[in-house]
């Protein structure tokens, strides 16, 4: 067992916490409000009776969330770069586990900075969509080469985690239309499923890795 395997447990649980938090973030940044003025006939025809909440309506909550994403992003990016530079995991596992972890750090930083400076994910949803393709590719890779002890579950985690940002432009670039709100619900469900899978794998790995290292002592001990 590689010496670096133990932190992977907490990485997975941090990922799960962030995915579940992101489901809340999507709800917060896309929930509709009624317009003060009666909608025009043209607006009704376009199903634009509601508009998206702006950053000024809940600035404290959005800014607090931005700090969370920036903190998690900095941690994931730093540890991901460390893993890429030192190659602590055996064979292809370092590729499929450490590369996406560093990418997750980049994505979390993008979300955090977008929430802090813009109060929304409208513009950020475009680059996030392109980044979302990458974990989907890794998920297919895991299935093809049967990597990890539970390749199907791990692949589902990767694919769902990539699918959520891939669909995000349909949520944030539709100007409050019904399709955007419905896609927001779809993305929230995807994020919740991915978050639960991350927790399931992470919790299971915690007990497995703890048992594997229970008799290990460092060279100085």
In a domain, 144, yes or no: yes
In a domain, 42, yes or no: no
Other CB atoms within 10 A of residue 23 CB: 20
Q: What pLDDT score does 8 carry?
A: 87
In a domain, 35, yes or no: no
- Rounded to whole angstroms, the Cα distance separating 47 from 50 reads 8
Q: What pLDDT score does 30 carry?
A: 87
HSE-up (13 A, CA, CB side) for residue 133: 4
Q: What is the 3-state secondary structure (H, E, C) of the chain?
A: CCCCHHHHHHHHHHHHHHHHHHHHHHHHHHCEEECCCCCCHHHHHCCCCEEECCHHHCHHHHHHHHHHHHHHHHHHHHHHHHHHHHCCCCCCHHHHHHHHHHHHHHHHHHHHHHHHHCCCCCCCHHHHHHHHHHHHHHHHHHHHHCCCCCHHHHHHHHHHHHHHHHHHHHHHCCCCCHHHHHHHHHHHHHHHHHHHHHHHHHHHHHHHHHHHHCCCCCCCC
Q: What pLDDT score does 41 carry?
A: 56
Q: What pLDDT score does 58 carry?
A: 66
- Rounded to whole angstroms, the Cα distance separating 213 from 6 reads 9
pLDDT per residue as tens, the chain (221 positions)? 444 456 889 999 999 999 999 999 999 998 764 444 455 555 444 444 344 444 344 678 889 999 999 999 999 999 999 999 988 888 899 999 999 999 999 999 999 999 999 989 999 999 999 999 999 999 999 999 999 989 999 999 999 999 999 999 999 988 667 788 899 999 999 999 999 999 999 999 888 877 777 777 766 75
Nearest to 103 by CA among 80, 130, 70, 137: 80
What is the tally of structural domains in the chain?
1
In a domain, 37, yes or no: no
Q: What pLDDT score does 90 carry?
A: 84
In a domain, 153, yes or no: yes
- Rounded to whole angstroms, the Cα distance separating 221 from 215 reads 12
Q: Distances from the Cα of 82 to the Cαs of 20, 69, 86, in angstroms?
A: 26, 20, 6
In a domain, 41, yes or no: no
End-to-end CA distance of the chain: 19
C-beta of residue 88 within 8 angstroms of C-beta of residue 3:
yes
Q: What pLDDT score does 33 carry?
A: 47
In a domain, 45, yes or no: no
Q: What is the pTM of this model?
A: 0.84
Environment class of residue 98 by beta-carbon count within 10 Å: exposed (0-12), middle (13-18) or buried (19+)? buried
In a domain, 48, yes or no: no
Query: What CATH code is carried by the domain that includes residue 76?
Result: 1.25.40
Q: What pLDDT score does 220 carry?
A: 74
Domain that holds residue 174: 12-30+58-210
Q: What pLDDT score does 56 carry?
A: 42
Q: What pLDDT score does 175 carry?
A: 64
């Amino acid at each position: 067992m590689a010496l670096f395997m133990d932190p992977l447990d907490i990485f997975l649980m941090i990922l799960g916490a962030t995915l579940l938090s992101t489901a809340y973030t999507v709800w917060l940044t896309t929930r509709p409000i009624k317009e003060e003025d009666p909608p025009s006939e043209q607006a009704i025809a376009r199903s634009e009776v509601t508009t998206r909440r702006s950053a000024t309506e809940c600035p404290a909550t959005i800014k607090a969330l931005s700090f969370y994403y920036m903190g998690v992003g900095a941690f994931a990016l730093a540890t991901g770069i460390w893993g890429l530079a030192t190659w602590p995991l055996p064979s292809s596992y370092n590729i499929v586990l450490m590369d996406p972890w560093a990418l997750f750090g980049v994505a979390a930083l993008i979300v955090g900075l977008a929430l802090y400076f813009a109060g929304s994910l409208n513009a950020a949803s475009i680059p996030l969509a392109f980044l979302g393709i990458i974990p989907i590719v890794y998920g297919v890779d895991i299935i093809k080469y049967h990597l990890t002890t539970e390749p199907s579950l791990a692949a589902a985690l990767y694919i769902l985690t990539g699918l959520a940002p891939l669909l995000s432009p349909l949520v944030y670039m539709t100007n409050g239309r019904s399709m955007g709100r419905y896609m927001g619900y779809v993305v929230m469900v995807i994020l919740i499923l991915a978050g639960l899978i991350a927790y399931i794998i992470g919790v299971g790995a915690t007990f497995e890795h703890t048992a594997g290292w229970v008799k290990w002592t460092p060279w100085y001990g």
